[in-house]
Amino acid sequence: MTFNIWLSGANVENGLQKIATNILQVDPDIVTLQEVTSTAVFDNLLDLLGSSWKGVTKNLSYPDTAIITKHKFMNASTAMTTWSIGARIFVSTLNTVVSVWNLHLNYKYC
């Protein structure tokens, strides 16, 4: 699942809770997020999703992209660029490792 969370839901009443609710209803194995406004908001979203969810994002004042999953991130597999983040994830239900990249370009470059 990919999800542009529009400034972390700040422009919607209870936006972050609504984002978490939608993710939990869809129940995907992996979610790529765009417009994550801070690492604190990212941590709050993971708390709302529950302890089975984990994630990676850039440790910046505006991380923008993130990946969350209920599966296991492979050690030392995260890579980052200015506009993206990638990781390798072991999907236990498929007994396989997948590579996931999340890219969020500025609208001026699309």
Segment 36-64, tens digit of pLDDT: 999 999 999 999 999 999 999 998 899 99
pLDDT over threshold 70, residue 110: no
**pTM of the prediction?**
0.94
pLDDT of residue 60: 87
> Do you know the residue count of the chain?
110
3-state SS of the chain? CEEECCHHHCCCCCHHHHHHHHHHHHCCCEEEEEEECCHHHHHHHHHHHCCCCEEEECCCCCCEEEEEECCEECCCCCEECCCEEEEEEEECCCCEEEEEEEECCCHHHC
What is the C-alpha separation between 72 and 13, in angstroms, rounded?
32
pLDDT number for residue 14: 97
Share of the chain above pLDDT 90, in %: 90
Question: Domains of the chain: which residue ranges?
Answer: 2-109
CATH class of 2-109: alpha beta
Residues contacting 95, CB < 8 A, separation 6+: none
Distance CA(75)–CA(79), nearest Å, equals 11
